[in-house]
Structure 1
Amino acid sequence: MINVALAGNANCGKTTLFNALTGANQFVGNWPGVTVEKKSGRLKKHKDVVIQDLPGIYSLSPYSPEEVVSRRYLIDGRPDVIVNVIDGTNLERNLYLTLQLMETGLPIICAVNMVDLLKKQGKHINLKKMEYLLGVPVIGISALKKTNLDVLIDMMIEEKHKEYSFPKYDDRLESALSMIEDQLRGVVSDEDLRFYAIKFFEQDDDVWGNVALDSTRRSEIEELIKTAEKVFGDETGSIVANARYDFIARVVDMSIVNEKDFVMTASDYVDMVVTNRILALPIFVLVMWLVYYISIQTIGGAGSDWVNDVLFGELVPDTATVLLKSWHVASWMQGLIIDGIIGGVGAVLGFVPQIAVLFLCLGILEDCGYMARVAFVMDRIFHRFNLSGKSFIPLLISTGCGVPGIMSTRTIESEKDRKMTIMLTTFMPCSAKLTIIGLISGTFFPHQSWVAPSAYFIGMAAVVCSGIFLKKTQLFAGETQPFVMELPAYHLPKVLNILRYSYERSIAFIQKAGTIIFASMVLIWFLSSFNFKMQMVSQQESMLKTIGSIFVPIFKPLGFGDWHACAAGFAGLIAKENCISTIQVTFGNPSNAVFDKLMLSHFSSFGAYSFLVFNLLCAPCFAAISAMNKEFGDYKWTLRAVGYQTLLAYLAALVICQSSVILSGSYTWLNVLGVAIGILIFAYGLVIKRPAKTVDAESQLAKEGI
């Protein structure tokens, strides 16, 4: 059995290579005790070769869970060979990890990926010279186009891999490392001496705490470190980092030829405008308005109108009615099928065209490279409000679904920033919430194109304001982590990629409608058709109205104190799509024209908008809550998050509704009091400065069980 470890920076093409090498022979799970995904697979046509896809990392310093996992696997697991995947378009950054991998002494193959992109960029890497300088095998590949993968496979399964000497740094540093190795000899294995010597010199806490050294050896190493710091006039961590970068600079200077070093590319010219400090945010707002306008108001809206008015408004219900009557089906069963299942599920499926168009637009923006610029722009904004720039990626993913967005927070190194991002991620309008956005904007604001995109920016505002407030609390106080990412060159989107992106998310939405929402609608129909004595009754005497009416006083100040809306809100905890289908069922599954009239008669425009804002920001669906609980690893944190989200949603909806009443002119002192209380609470959270107590980082982590 041959064990191969794939290691590399994030976004270097490692996962693409892993998929190409293993195909369907993959196993996915979590590393023991860590919420970091573990992906293994067997090499195609070589079942005796197991490939381990290590998490994307930038170094072997154990600061993030990913780095801890990778380092432990390499040092303790000792794979037979490491395939270091290097992004050829960013050689300097990637080689920093390469040197650290070489310092482990494990057999290594450097696979320089994206050689096809290098050619387009006018760059050329002399792989033979690079191999000579590093002293390890180097091969150029394209994981996407599967270039040279057969050669790489042959190199992986060779019985003996080429031995190499460790990278040699500054003579003074090498002297210090040699003396530390002498102190470690007999304590760690000879093959690990170089790695542990460097880690002791860097004053790596994990190594100093776990390697058993007697007091004499420990004090000798401490004296060596103090002497080296005096000689270099710098800290040991910086000494090693500078030595590595000096080595990398020599390799790059002698290996890479860049024909366009002094030529502005088309991407550079576009970025001068798109990432401009003044223009970037207005452009982003305009782009998102256009996306929602196309998705909700025009193309997507036209498709949804046909599905609602024709397909589920006439064809399906009428056909089902004729068939059920011809089969002499009981009237209660006809009500369940037509009013409950077809009416409820159909109300959700009516938004599929809007969702498909939305993801089509987002797919274009992502594939062409614009969304990477958005992350860059938002990082500048987020840092001003004490948020990590890395938080934007989970937020972006959450526009599809909150569950993967929550799971993607694993890439955030800081435990506090990660927990805060988990708490805020579901503020973004996911595809399920798009059904509520579509209903409210289409019914109450048919000619107002600002309503749909405003939901997106309300979610962003909730994230930013929460970041300001939460960073002032003891739970989240501390410095935010820097965000580093590579901006890809702009390119024309690939039609197949975009269509697949839209198709997969639309199908996932439809599957959800066919399972969770189907079951929910059976339950909602039952509750809305029977009383507590199990007698079939009208909507006004049903269990659902009784249950919904209990909560009417709570939501009345928000403008939707109606049992239909209250019942819909609680059904939305199962799945947010249930909000719309539940309202449809509680109104007796009328035609769309009648349904619109009923909605307009039961809710004011701003009461409906308040309903939209509340459901946008309040506790997410059960699936997302479950994902939060898994990532937090503590039900108390989950309760904190759900409680905070619901409270913020209530306050925001209260201020919006009561402000609209005041603006209309027909208000009382209670309306003014409600707005004043809401604004004061927001102001207190945003403006009042509460100095955070200083807490020892190690004791805090120990307290949280990390």
Structure 2
Amino acid sequence: MMKIALAGNPNSGKTTLFNALTGSNQYVGNWPGVTVEKKEGKLKENPKVIVQDLPGVYSLSPYSPEERIARNYLIQEHPDVILNIVDASNLERNLYLSTQLAELGIPMVIALNMMDVIENRNETIDVDALSNNLGIPVIEMSASKNKGTKEAAAAALKAALHQPVNCRVQFDPAIEEAIKKIESMIIEPVFKRWKAIRLLENDEYILERQNLSSEQLNHLEKVQKELEQKFDDEPEGIIADQRYSFIEKNLQNVYKKKKGFHLTISDKIDRIVTNRFLAIPIFMAVMAVVYYLSLNLVGTPATDFVNDVIVGEWLQGGMTSFFESVHASEPVISLVVDGIIGGLGAPFGFLPQMVMMFLCLSFLEDCGYMSRIAFIMDRIFRKLGLSGKSFISFMISTGCGIPGIMAARTIENEKERRMTMIVTTSMPCSAKLPIIAMIAGAISGVSASWQIAWATYMFGIVAIIISALVLRHTRWFAGETAPFIMELPSYHWPKVMNVLRQTWERCLHFIKKAGTILFACCVVTWFLSTYGITSQGLQMVDIQDSLLAKIGSSIAFLFAPLGWGNWQAAAASLSGFVAKEQIVSTMGVLVNVADDTGEVPELWSAIMVMFPNFLAAFSFLVFNLLDAPCLAAVSTLFKEMNSSKWSWMALGWQMFFAWSMALIVYQLGSLLFYGTFGIWTMIAVVILIIYIARMVKPYTDRKTASKNLVEAGA
């Protein structure tokens, strides 16, 4: 089968093109040995053609996992053709990667994407002249509008069969002479020139695989020193400068920009949304709108309909009538109606709100705003020992904590990577959204309050900052933060299909979990809440005497200082370690118990009975927002940490931090609103003082921190 490799810079439109070329004929996995996402698909017009979407990279230099993956795939798998997606609005910098790809000798086509942006700027690119100058076919394209995508694929197929590679950067004669000297040491004829250039740049990967003798290594070092003396720079810098000179030369009379300096629409928007003083308030306002749309204006009416009509009247009422008509036994009716439908119905009832939330987040991601948030947050996160890449993990975690943890793989600094994985699961993921909506609705008394939900989301970010600051001032995470560089894509109107596809994938993940893990958990929870040990053995008992009540009562004392020391809330919280949605399912099972009138109590009021006041309910929400993630995420954490010691330390910190923050919220809140004061109030104050002291403590010196880490065996 023919293979087309899609290669390009991040935010160049590569994923949009991949979706356009493959449609639904694609599958997602992970690259062997790493957790960077791997996407493959079959060309819609020709299923015999495999399209491989490589990670977005700026160069083939091995500085990040993505760059190593892209480079290794190209030189080891040797695809039939490279379809290089180039952002026309950032032409000069994007072509830097093109010059490296061309040196591999693999047939290549350049897809000049975002030509609509160029037209809007009243700029022009002479595509034919650019193609002639580079010796590579160049196709105009606007992937977001599905213009030129088929032509790009057709050009790639043609190049794979007939197109020789004529593009080669002509370096300074002295550099060309040095490359020839190094080529003479390379035995394998494949990628010979490319390997010589990489050896000149001291590429460790190529050095290890060439098995050069001591004499050859000395010869290589001599060649490098001669160039350094001539150009007064290191070989890597010399090569980079030569590449940009080559690009600049070939763009003359090809790329015609408007004379003078003109702000683009994106630049004008960024002057506001990335403003030092306005950026954070604007972000908070944007998320407030998202939560208002999701949990109040659109989501709540749909959720009320699902809970009251579909689940309550149609499913539970209908199934009860059906089972009674066929004279089914009481345990069967209870299992299906209260256990399965009641348990699954609770989280499913919040699915409309989740759909709206996913739509909003997908829109913000696709239009380019979320990239700005990473840039904005980098200013804050650098002070926490994190970088903008950490915020990318946090934003991914709003969908699911598992890929959020995996996304930390792209952070080169081990200290930052570990800290990111420890705190990233505190973000309100999609599994926690039903909990937020449920408790917000219970506190408001009528329906889910978007104000409380939004405040909870912001509290999650603040909690991450507090957690990171406290950890930052320990010997384990002290030191300077690595710089973070990313390209901000131009704002554009999102493609409807991309937004819908992302929303569907996130919802499908939730539905699959509900159909498997949550289903099993609902059955187990029903059994534990329905049966108990009596003198006659295991029998159906009142819920107060059930096995679940016994389990919840045994751990309830741990949560009494947090305001919810009853077995129901404790048992629900415990079930969240299997899957966070299970907290809602467990509460759904517990409240689906008919009262003296034979009626099932209304969800919101029934849940609020578990808590003495709104502070206790909010404390419950805070704990389950910040505590250790579900089992699947814990498993991923252990795998990514690659250290049992660090993994257990991470879980221990997550549990203590969640408990302590919930304690502070409830105890100090009770002191403020109700005037209550006791020993736990004093403990909460002490913990708060310790946190503040750790946050304002001067940074530990890097050398001292490194010495401590070595002594600790980290």
TM-score, structure 1 as length reference: 0.90
2:256 is paired with a residue whose SS is: strand
2:578 to 574, 578, 590: 574
1:609 to 609, 618, 625: 618
Q: What is the letter of the counterpart of residue 470 of structure 2?
A: F
Q: Which residue of structure 1 lines up, in the alignment, with residue 597 of structure 2? A: none
Do the aligned partners of residues 50 and 235 (structure 1) sit closer, same or farther apart at CA in structure 2, a change above 3 Å counting? same
Which ranges in structure 2 are unaligned for 5 or more consecutive residues? Answer: 595-599
Q: What is the letter of the counterpart of residue 563 of structure 2?
A: G
Q: 1:601 deviation in Å?
A: 6.1
Q: 1:571 deviation in Å?
A: 0.8
Does 1:558 pair with 2:562? Answer: yes
Do the aligned partners of residues 692 and 193 (structure 1) sit closer, same or farther apart at CA in structure 2, a change above 3 Å counting? same
Structure 1, residues 627-647: CA drift from partner, whole Å, max 9, x if none? Answer: 333433455443333222212
Q: What is the letter of the counterpart of residue 385 of structure 1?
A: L
Q: Which residue of structure 1 lines up, in the alignment, with residue 419 of structure 2? A: 420
Q: Which residue of structure 2 lines up, in the alignment, with residue 344 of structure 1? A: 343
Structure 1, residues 434-487: CA drift from partner, whole Å, max 9, x if none? Answer: 122112222223597542112111221222233333344455445434333333
Aligned ranges 1:2-401 → 2 under 5 Å: 2-23=2-23, 25-26=25-26, 28-44=28-44, 46=46, 49-144=49-144, 145-147=146-148, 149-150=150-151, 152-157=153-158, 158-164=160-166, 166-169=168-171, 171=172, 174-190=173-189, 192-259=191-258, 262-401=261-400
Q: What is the letter of the counterpart of residue 109 of structure 1?
A: V
Q: What is the letter of the counterpart of residue 84 of structure 1?
A: N
Do the aligned partners of residues 415 and 103 (structure 1) sit closer, same or farther apart at CA in structure 2, a change above 3 Å counting? farther
- Distance, in Å, in 2 between the alignment partners of 1:342 and 1:40 is 38
CA contact (8 A) 2:179 2:193 kept: no
Q: 1:678 deviation in Å?
A: 1.6
Q: 1:675 deviation in Å?
A: 1.4
Q: Which residue of structure 2 lines up, in the alignment, with residue 541 of structure 1? A: 545
Q: Which residue of structure 2 lines up, in the alignment, with residue 632 of structure 1? A: 641
CA contact (8 A) 1:91 1:252 kept: no
Do the aligned partners of residues 516 and 596 (structure 1) sit closer, same or farther apart at CA in structure 2, a change above 3 Å counting? same
Does 1:661 pair with 2:670? Answer: yes
Do the aligned partners of residues 218 and 115 (structure 1) sit closer, same or farther apart at CA in structure 2, a change above 3 Å counting? same
Q: What is the letter of the counterpart of residue 169 of structure 2?
A: P
Q: What is the letter of the counterpart of residue 75 of structure 1?
A: I
CA contact (8 A) 1:135 1:164 kept: yes
Do the aligned partners of residues 35 and 305 (structure 1) sit closer, same or farther apart at CA in structure 2, a change above 3 Å counting? closer
Q: Which residue of structure 1 lines up, in the alignment, with residue 700 of structure 2? A: 690
Do the aligned partners of residues 275 and 695 (structure 1) sit closer, same or farther apart at CA in structure 2, a change above 3 Å counting? closer
- Distance, in Å, in 2 between the alignment partners of 1:495 and 1:40 is 22
- Distance, in Å, in 1 between the alignment partners of 2:356 and 2:4 is 42
CA contact (8 A) 2:579 2:631 kept: yes
1:109 is paired with a residue whose SS is: strand
Q: Which residue of structure 1 lines up, in the alignment, with residue 453 of structure 2? A: 452
- Distance, in Å, in 2 between the alignment partners of 1:250 and 1:446 is 68
1:240 is paired with a residue whose SS is: helix
Structure 1, residues 158-181: CA drift from partner, whole Å, max 9, x if none? Answer: 534324252013x2xx41452353
Q: What is the letter of the counterpart of residue 5 of structure 2?
A: A
CA contact (8 A) 1:23 1:44 kept: yes
Q: 1:276 deviation in Å?
A: 1.1
Do the aligned partners of residues 629 and 386 (structure 1) sit closer, same or farther apart at CA in structure 2, a change above 3 Å counting? same
Q: 1:562 deviation in Å?
A: 1.0
CA contact (8 A) 2:21 2:149 kept: no
1:678 to 684, 687, 707: 687
CA contact (8 A) 1:398 1:426 kept: yes
CA contact (8 A) 2:563 2:611 kept: no
Q: 1:492 deviation in Å?
A: 4.5
CA contact (8 A) 1:587 1:595 kept: no
CA contact (8 A) 1:96 1:245 kept: yes
CA contact (8 A) 1:177 1:198 kept: no
Q: In the comparison of the two structures, how many residue pairs are matched?
A: 698
Q: 1:24 deviation in Å?
A: 5.1
- Distance, in Å, in 1 between the alignment partners of 2:385 and 2:705 is 18
- Distance, in Å, in 1 between the alignment partners of 2:32 and 2:323 is 54
Structure 1, residues 131-189: CA drift from partner, whole Å, max 9, x if none? Answer: 232233322234441516346425534534324252013x2xx4145235324414333
Q: Which residue of structure 2 lines up, in the alignment, with residue 529 of structure 1? A: 530
Q: Name which of structure 1's ranges 361-370 and 491-500 shifts more when overlaid on structure 2.
A: 491-500
Do the aligned partners of residues 256 and 79 (structure 1) sit closer, same or farther apart at CA in structure 2, a change above 3 Å counting? same
Q: What is the letter of the counterpart of residue 691 of structure 1?
A: D
CA contact (8 A) 2:102 2:165 kept: no
1:62 is paired with a residue whose SS is: coil
Q: Which residue of structure 1 lines up, in the alignment, with residue 519 of structure 2? A: 518
- Distance, in Å, in 1 between the alignment partners of 2:672 and 2:19 is 58
Structure 1, residues 250-278: CA drift from partner, whole Å, max 9, x if none? Answer: 23343212348633344333322221111
Q: Which residue of structure 2 lines up, in the alignment, with residue 485 of structure 1? A: 486
Structure 1, residues 201-257: CA drift from partner, whole Å, max 9, x if none? Answer: 222233334422222332232233233223323233222222222222223343212
Do the aligned partners of residues 632 and 156 (structure 1) sit closer, same or farther apart at CA in structure 2, a change above 3 Å counting? farther
TM-score, structure 2 as length reference: 0.89
- Distance, in Å, in 2 between the alignment partners of 1:113 and 1:99 is 17
Aligned ranges 1:615-626 → 2 under 5 Å: 615-626=624-635
Structure 1, residues 396-453: CA drift from partner, whole Å, max 9, x if none? Answer: 1221222333333344344443333232221111222112211222222359754211
- Distance, in Å, in 1 between the alignment partners of 2:639 and 2:18 is 27
Q: 1:495 deviation in Å?
A: 5.4
Does 1:596 pair with 2:600? Answer: no
CA contact (8 A) 2:479 2:701 kept: no
Q: Name which of structure 1's ranges 219-228 and 550-559 shifts more when overlaid on structure 2.
A: 219-228
Do the aligned partners of residues 513 and 34 (structure 1) sit closer, same or farther apart at CA in structure 2, a change above 3 Å counting? closer
Do the aligned partners of residues 199 and 351 (structure 1) sit closer, same or farther apart at CA in structure 2, a change above 3 Å counting? same
Q: What is the letter of the counterpart of residue 394 of structure 1?
A: S
Structure 1, residues 281-321: CA drift from partner, whole Å, max 9, x if none? Answer: 11111222232233224432233233333443444333222
Structure 1, residues 363-398: CA drift from partner, whole Å, max 9, x if none? Answer: 443344333322222222222322110122221122
CA contact (8 A) 1:22 1:41 kept: yes
Q: Which residue of structure 1 lines up, in the alignment, with residue 660 of structure 2? A: 651
1:111 is paired with a residue whose SS is: strand
CA contact (8 A) 2:385 2:416 kept: no
- Distance, in Å, in 1 between the alignment partners of 2:510 and 2:377 is 28
Do the aligned partners of residues 159 and 599 (structure 1) sit closer, same or farther apart at CA in structure 2, a change above 3 Å counting? closer
Do the aligned partners of residues 496 and 76 (structure 1) sit closer, same or farther apart at CA in structure 2, a change above 3 Å counting? closer
1:355 is paired with a residue whose SS is: helix
Q: Name which of structure 1's ranges 494-503 and 672-681 shifts more when overlaid on structure 2.
A: 494-503
Q: Percent identity?
A: 44
Q: Which residue of structure 1 lines up, in the alignment, with residue 463 of structure 2? A: 462
Q: What is the letter of the counterpart of residue 164 of structure 1?
A: N
Structure 1, residues 340-384: CA drift from partner, whole Å, max 9, x if none? Answer: 122222222222232233233334433443333222222222223
2:56 is paired with a residue whose SS is: coil
CA contact (8 A) 1:661 1:671 kept: no
CA contact (8 A) 1:177 1:197 kept: no
Which ranges in structure 1 are unaligned for 5 or more consecutive residues? Answer: none
